[in-house]
Structure 1
Amino acid sequence: MDDQGLQRSSNAMHAINIQMKGYTFTWERGRGKPQFVEEKLDRALASTSWKERFPDASVLTTQKKISRIAFRFENRWMEDKGFGKLVNDQWEITNSSATITERLRSLSTELTRWSRKHPKIDRKNIEELKDRLERMRSNTDQQSAVKAEEMKMELNQMMIKNDMYWK
């Protein structure tokens, strides 16, 4: 997304910037070389209601390198029936005196574990289900019709989740 697209999106959501404190730059390349470059790439946004609830919140940037693999949230998780309960439960069981960073780290660890049990839906799965559905077309009995409807609903859900993954 370009800067104008980000600006339009954040304006549409009424998102506001959260103040960043600490080291100015968040990315570097070529340390110790003549072509050494540092840039500020990150930006933190929040809703106005969140900012009202946490008026003194800020983001602290550091030079510390993190060796962990970055956590990636997947939109498709939102369609899973158990996702909301998992997030709420995990948030509640985390020590209430934990910092927001510690709570988020705990949540991301649990979501990573959970996501391994909920594999991505790829085109192969969708095509296999379409093929099975096509083979059932010649069956006209009531039981086959019910099964075909169930498969259509499953196919629709798979396609929605697949589309959400790419958004």
Structure 2
Amino acid sequence: MNALVWNCRGFGQPPIVRQLRKMVKMFKPSFVFLSETQKKRSYMETKRKSMRFAGNSYVCPIDQAGGLALWWVEGISCKILDSDQFFIDVLVEGDDGFYITFVHAPSDPNRRRDFWDRISSLRSSFDDKWVVIGDMNVILFPEEKLGGGPPRNESVIPFKNFVDDNALMDLGFKGYPFTWNNNREGQRRVEERLDRALCSASWRSKFRNALVFHELPIESDHWPLRLEMKGTKVRSNPPFRFDSRWLNQEECNNIVNCKWDNGGMCHDRLLNCEKELKEWAREVYWDQNKRAADIQARLEEIFIMDRSVDIVQEEKFDDRTCCHLER
């Protein structure tokens, strides 16, 4: 079981929708939680159905601001316990059930203080298996901010109190250390770790191998979070499947003709073709995947560098190239 959580800052943008499709296809999340959708339920339902999620819960935007969407796959038994414009609280049912609260905390510090009290009231026992994940809109420690002035205590202290009062622990992360930036360049650039996952000791005991990943953002100032609740799975070898697109490759036709003409029983000929095509396809796709991975790594480097005009243009070019390779 895993979850994909993203403050997408407007779900109507084609690059945002395209990246979500890519991540859904790649990671196959059990849950997808989107905040700041800025879209009506009817639009979100169209996208949910196209990505084949079975369940849904929405908090509609107010005057085209805000908006939450939670989708889950078929086979997940869950119950929506509570929600408002800043969170959706869920009970994942079953013998080993647990609570998960998807949040997008208010940006105003005064409203955020009341928000932490509200989230605290959702649970009545430290023994509850509980995870809280999303955009907290505040950091916990000074080192979670790069650039700009020092963090304000009136914002940080209420959040720290919330974490301590509920005996929550930070799940940490893998990837780039900051999850938000102000989209400015040079000395004016500010980056912070605003998005995170917190959990109770009993939840951590149940999901000992749980990991949080910061995924690369496209056309958004927030990095998507991916919570793997059972750690990274080792994939088994998939069965051989012939890809019809290979028919356009002359090398594929040569392999089939060569191996088939070697003679032998039909079964043996098919096995020989399968073996050679596997090796050929592995080399072809390895080259493409390696190039995409190199571009992805370069994009991550760019986020660390000063945002000069040349760097921004390179980022946009690499972005388009990644999308082309994925197609």
After TM superposition, the score normalised by the length of structure 2 is 0.19
Structure of greater relative contact order (alpha carbons < 8 Å, 6+ residues apart): 1
Higher helix share: 1
TM-score, normalization: structure 1? 0.35
